[in-house]
A and B are shown apart, each in its own frame.
Chain A
């Protein structure tokens, strides 16, 4: 067991980094704020991280990353609380939890539902952490051998996967990717030094800040849309949550779904472009299929909480694998994490693990600690989170606006960024109206410059011959996988299934 021997010094280094008082504090702050944001409806993890990113500029790199990661999985966690208690998923990955979680709460079993969600997530988080620690180094080692064609094909695969797994029309999702790549081009071309699509605006020569795009598309547009929907009534279901501990029967029903959910989540999390949402949906579908009595689902089956909740947490955790080892983010949120790394002066990629081992292993150790903190934070403090739900939206959105304004402005201290956010907010609102999903766009936006650079290099090596992408075996493998994705998704039967899954499963 060569890997095991490697593990010890690495994990020891990781924990030594993560348990310093200051890093523990960052971790705690992260999961606390994350839970808060997850509980509050109308603001997803992506907008939250974008909003809070500027705050971490002044922190040391390890602390910044630990805190942002905490926000990310904390939000995932908080989302399930609201899904169970008020049938309002704090974010999309907990949409399926609404179905059976809310039914359980209706039957007075909110406590066990919350506990199983928390314990399942903790289990999944632990497995996820072990997986990253085990799979990370070999993948990074392999990635060091990747050339430009491999990187380009890998990014194509990630982008297509994100379109395939997005909501709604596949064609529109693909068009959004191209649009995202185009937005990524704005700014100075690294090769020629030429300023592109800056339209004579000097503030644009550095390109569009991703904080601006994320806040516009996901923050601003979201608020306008929520306001239009009117004050949604929230049926708060908590008659003092007393017995939180699940029964023996609950445990017996939950452990197998939690394991299956973790496995599915780990798979979808590692795959660039997929993510927690699709993992949770798939797990729910699977649990319904393998259940002895499928009719219990939708009527408060605990398996319908344990499975998806483990799956989305495992996926959230494993999304760090491509991000940290390849430097290729699998989702918009992960793209923001990479952005944070870049701002800290660290070039993302497989070399991070060897050059900054304390950063990589410290982050991993902190994720495990953070998951533990979440259990402690969520179960005893559930009353506090429930109280937060009673804050009406009309008092919430001005606060979000203020945080967004401060966040955007603090990146460059120029009013232009604020006006740009406004423009992207408008655009985002139009996207909502035209049912164009913005998630693939932001991923493409971040990958755009990387893709152009790798395309340029690949074609330079091959002397302009585009077959280089299919004659190199690894690159060809990625492209074949991509083609398979598309073909499978275009098959009528599966397409119907995808529409069902990505559309509106709760019927809310």
Chain B
């Protein structure tokens, strides 16, 4: 019998759930199971992982029976720049500790690059406005304890 995937969505969703379930079960093997009466730290995750694997398998198997949709293409541009914006923020404000102003400006400019309608001037103006606004609200208003610049 040849199995044909009729629903890509369900097939990959099923695989994803199986993957998470396996991960849970395998990692939980390092934790004592205990018994039903005295549940150890491994008890709950092992059972959940098992249930997850079974559910994932059913979902994946069903994808060969029930007609479904193809997965639409990923929006890589948005994904890339928004991720970059977030990661840069974490790096700038925590690791490098360059202060609030520069970190926020970086988030704005990198975020705007995610849009296909990106314009430099607009991006810079928006960065200015948002930096001013957030400094006013969060630093002056709510007194969050971040330095404005690297020289404090």
Binding site for B on A (CB under 8 A): 55, 58, 169, 171-172, 174-175, 178-179, 181-182, 185, 189, 191-192, 194, 196-197, 220, 223-225, 227-228, 230-231, 394-395, 397-399, 401-403, 405-406, 409-410, 413-419, 421-422, 425-426, 429-430, 433-436, 452, 455-456, 459-460, 463-466
Nearest CB in chain B: distance from A59 CB, A: 10
Complex: A58 Cα to B144 Cα, angstroms: 10
Q: Does more than half of chain B's interface fall in helix, strand or loop, or is it mixed? A: helix
Kindly list chain A residues whose C-beta atoms are within 8 Å of the C-beta of B55: 171, 174-175, 178
| B82 touching A452, Cβ below 8 Å | no
Set A175, A395, A436, A459: member contacting B52, Cβ < 8 A: A175
B40 proximal to A (CB < 8 A): yes
Kindly list chain A residues whose C-beta atoms are within 8 Å of the C-beta of B45: 182, 185, 196-197
Q: Which B81-129 residues have C-beta < 8 A from chain A? A: 82-83, 85-87, 89-91, 93-95, 103-104, 107-108, 111-112, 114-118, 122, 126
| B134 touching A430, Cβ below 8 Å | no
Kindly list chain A residues whose C-beta atoms are within 8 Å of the C-beta of B90: 409, 415-419
B51 proximal to A (CB < 8 A): yes
B48 proximal to A (CB < 8 A): yes
| A418 touching B75, Cβ below 8 Å | no
| Binary flags per residue of B24-60, CB closer than 8 Å to A gives 1, else 0 | 1001100110011111110011001101100110110
Whether A459 contacts B130 in the complex (CB less than 8 A), given A223-B78, A425-B83, A433-B72, comes out as no
| B52 touching A405, Cβ below 8 Å | no
B20 proximal to A (CB < 8 A): yes
| A224 touching B112, Cβ below 8 Å | no
| A401 touching B85, Cβ below 8 Å | yes
Q: Which B56-81 residues have C-beta < 8 A from chain A? A: 56, 58-59, 62, 69, 71-72, 74-75, 77-79
B13 proximal to A (CB < 8 A): yes
Set A181, A189, A410, A418: member contacting B144, Cβ < 8 A: A410
For B55, B62, B74, the residue with the greatest tally of chain A CB atoms inside 10 Å of its CB is: B55
Complex: A244 Cα to B8 Cα, angstroms: 49
Q: Whose C-beta in chain B lies nearest to the C-beta of A418?
A: B90
Q: Whose C-beta in chain B lies nearest to the C-beta of A404?
A: B86
| B126 touching A425, Cβ below 8 Å | no
Q: Whose C-beta in chain B lies nearest to the C-beta of A194?
A: B41
Whether A422 contacts B86 in the complex (CB less than 8 A), given A172-B13, A401-B107, comes out as yes
Nearest CB in chain A: distance from B139 CB, A: 10
| A179 touching B38, Cβ below 8 Å | no
Q: Which B121-152 residues have C-beta < 8 A from chain A? A: 122, 126, 130, 134, 138, 142, 144
Kindly list chain B residues whose C-beta atoms are within 8 Å of the C-beta of A436: 13
18 intermolecular pairs with C-beta atoms under 8 Å apart: A169-B59, A171-B58, A171-B59, A172-B10, A175-B56, A192-B41, A223-B82, A224-B78, A230-B116, A398-B108, A401-B108, A402-B107, A406-B138, A409-B90, A418-B90, A433-B9, A455-B39, A459-B39
Complex: A417 Cα to B91 Cα, angstroms: 11
Known contacts A171-B59, A172-B10, A406-B138; can you find 6 more A-B pairs with CB under 8 A?
A394-B115, A405-B89, A409-B89, A433-B9, A464-B36, A465-B36
Whether A425 contacts B86 in the complex (CB less than 8 A), given A175-B17, A397-B115, A409-B93, comes out as yes
| A196 touching B37, Cβ below 8 Å | no
| A435 touching B94, Cβ below 8 Å | no
Complex: A415 Cα to B87 Cα, angstroms: 8
| A192 touching B112, Cβ below 8 Å | no
| B79 touching A426, Cβ below 8 Å | yes
B5 proximal to A (CB < 8 A): no
Kindly list chain B residues whose C-beta atoms are within 8 Å of the C-beta of A405: 85-86, 89, 103-104, 107
| B17 touching A464, Cβ below 8 Å | no
Nearest CB in chain B: distance from A72 CB, A: 20
| B111 touching A397, Cβ below 8 Å | yes
Kindly list chain B residues whose C-beta atoms are within 8 Å of the C-beta of A418: 86-87, 89-90, 94
Nearest CB in chain B: distance from A125 CB, A: 29
Q: Whose C-beta in chain B lies nearest to the C-beta of A180?
A: B48
Nearest CB in chain A: distance from B42 CB, A: 8
Whether A395 contacts B89 in the complex (CB less than 8 A), given A55-B142, A169-B10, A402-B108, comes out as no
